[in-house]
């Protein structure tokens, strides 16, 4: 099987081979450079290139591990693996030193290949690595690092459909080394979202957001709905094996036709909001429960059992999600991290649900005419309210930078909704980057809802922080006129009274 790197770059081939746990050889050609990568069970175990700077002799001399005369003595023209054997045989280098250099060399070859955007590739599942050398590579970290260095326009070309679904796929640990913008996007994708929505939520330039989503998808933190597949006709190396000592429960009696059962399976997977629901187990499940849940699904819905083109791609996507759920929950460290993430999402949901509610319906900010605006009031308000709740939840958790764009979107969509303007102003005030705009938003909220004491208290606190003490005192008095028992206003008045 062969193709063009411009259509199927090495990063995506590596991702696809890893997922299918394939064994074979991938040859890449970008004249005059050539390279070959050997895979075993989906993992790259060796790679070599004809580029001089990526040859073993160059690495050894650059690091002063061997001298030019020593290389000449064993043969400069030897292949890398043969040269390594000769150096060890002659006692010039220890095996451990050679293995360490090979690990660095192979990793560097793969890093270079990740940056190729043109050329050709050819995959052969019949050719295996004959040499004894094997290296262990962290494919996930390599793909993530590679995406950070790939061309922005090339990455953007890998996304053709803004409605493509992007779904959560894995847990994030401190040791994973995610960049802040990557961790932020990952925290926002807590359910399947359209690509266009993910780009909007990222807070980044569109090209930078494409890079972030691409890297997280390659590294299996996120799951793309529409990977351009290159090796779709090659079957995985092996089916999951049931480990000794674990007895999966017997299959349930068949009550539905296969079509109905598969349809119900897709519906359940699509509606699942966390890995426990994906595996159909409880949050308190032990390791045996997790294994039983996974192997029950593997027996029934492994992609090898389905050959119909109509559903095979969807089965593969669903089973990839099942596998990711299993790998996360079966590992104690990853499960703890994932559970912490679920708890944080639940706190955010609870904060969002506690957000102040509207007193009455509010028109959208739409200038296209009465008829068209009326047609979209409901969905527009729904989006504005969703943004408000998201921003309010972030604000209650001390994340003003996260809150500002959501609250800004809500205020822009419904400028006559006092809640949106007030909390947008409060977030701006806490952020401290645009206090003038914060004052304008708070005053707008007060004009829309003059009897709301909490909005006036927000403004009073802003004036206090800006050291506009007379204005702060006047607003505090107005708060107490509206709500004489307001303890926070009373405390602020005491602070103002103590000033010289």
CB 70 within 8 A of CB 122: no
What is the pLDDT, as a whole number, of residue 87? 82
Residues of the chain with pLDDT under 50: 172-175, 233-242, 254, 366-378
**335: which residues sit within 8 A by CB, 6+ positions away?**
171, 328, 329
pTM, full prediction: 0.47
CB 486 within 8 A of CB 479: yes
Write the DSSP assignment of 272-303 as a string of letters: --SHHHHHT--TT--HHHHHHHHHHHHHHH-G
d(CA 403, CA 393): 8
Peptide bond into 32 cis (omega under 30): yes
What is the pLDDT, as a whole number, of residue 1? 84
**CB burial string 9-42: b at 16+ within 10 A, e below:** bbbbbbbbbbbbbbbbbbebbbeeeebbbbbbeb
Q: Are strands 33-40 and 43-49 parallel, antiparallel or unpaired?
A: antiparallel
DSSP secondary structure code for residue 449 in this structure:
-
What is the pLDDT, as a whole number, of residue 253? 53
Strands (E), 184-300: 193-194, 222-224
Helices 453-465 and 418-431: angle between axes, nearest 10 degrees: 20
What is the pLDDT, as a whole number, of residue 187? 82
CB 338 within 8 A of CB 171: yes
Q: Count other C-beta atoms under 10 Å from residue 464's C-beta.
A: 19
Q: Are strands 222-224 and 165-168 parallel, antiparallel or unpaired?
A: antiparallel
What is the pLDDT, as a whole number, of residue 359? 67
């Amino acid at each position: 099987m062969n193709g063009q790197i411009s259509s199927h770059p090495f990063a995506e081939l590596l991702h696809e081979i890893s997922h299918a746990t394939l064994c074979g050889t991938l040859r890449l050609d970008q004249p005059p450079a050539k390279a070959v990568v050997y895979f075993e069970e989906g993992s790259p175990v060796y790679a070599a290139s004809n580029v001089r700077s990526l040859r073993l002799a160059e690495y050894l001399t650059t690091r002063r591990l061997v001298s030019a005369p020593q290389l000449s003595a064993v043969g400069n023209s030897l292949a890398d693996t043969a040269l390594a054997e000769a150096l060890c045989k002659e006692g010039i280098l220890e095996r451990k030193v050679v293995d360490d250099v090979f690990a660095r060399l192979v990793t560097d070859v793969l890093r270079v290949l990740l940056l190729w955007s043109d050329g050709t590739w050819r995959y052969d599942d019949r050719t295996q690595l004959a040499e004894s050398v094997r290296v262990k590579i962290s494919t996930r970290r390599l793909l993530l690092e590679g995406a950070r260095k790939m061309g922005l326009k090339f990455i953007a070309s890998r996304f053709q459909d803004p409605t493509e679904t992007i779904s959560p796929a894995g847990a994030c640990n401190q040791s994973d080394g995610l960049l802040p913008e990557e961790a932020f996007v990952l925290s926002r994708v807590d359910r399947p979202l359209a690509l266009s929505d993910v780009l909007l939520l990222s807070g980044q330039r569109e090209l930078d957001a494409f890079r972030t989503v691409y890297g997280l998808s390659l590294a299996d933190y996120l799951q793309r709905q529409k990977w351009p597949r290159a090796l779709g006709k090659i079957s995985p190396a092996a089916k999951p094996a049931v480990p000794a000592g674990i007895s999966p429960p017997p299959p349930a009696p068949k009550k539905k036709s296969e079509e109905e059962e598969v349809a119900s399976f897709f519906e359940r997977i699509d509606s699942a909001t966390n890995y426990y629901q994906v595996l159909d187990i409880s949050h308190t499940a032990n390791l045996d429960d997790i294994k039983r849940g996974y192997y029950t699904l593997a027996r029934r819905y492994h992609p090898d059992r389905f050959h119909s083109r109509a559903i095979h791609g969807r089965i593969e996507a669903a089973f990839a999600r099942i596998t990711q759920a299993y790998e996360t929950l079966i590992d104690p460290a990853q499960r703890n991290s994932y559970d912490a993430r679920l708890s944080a999402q639940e706190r955010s949901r609870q904060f969002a649900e506690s957000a102040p509610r509207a007193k009455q319906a509010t028109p959208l900010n739409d200038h296209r005419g009465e008829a068209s605006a009326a047609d979209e009031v409901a969905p527009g308000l729904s989006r504005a309210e969703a943004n408000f709740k998201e921003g309010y939840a972030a604000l209650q958790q001390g994340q003003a930078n996260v809150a500002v764009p959501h609250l800004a979107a809500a205020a822009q969509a419904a400028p006559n909704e006092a809640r949106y303007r007030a909390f947008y102003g409060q977030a701006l005030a806490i952020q401290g980057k645009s206090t003038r705009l914060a004052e304008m938003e708070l005053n707008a909220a007060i004009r829309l809802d003059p009897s709301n004491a909490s909005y006036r208290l927000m403004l009073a606190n802003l004036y206090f922080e800006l050291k506009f003490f007379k204005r702060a005192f006047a607003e505090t008095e107005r708060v107490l006129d509206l709500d004489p028992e307001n303890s926070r206003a009373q405390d602020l008045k005491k602070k103002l009274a103590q000033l010289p």
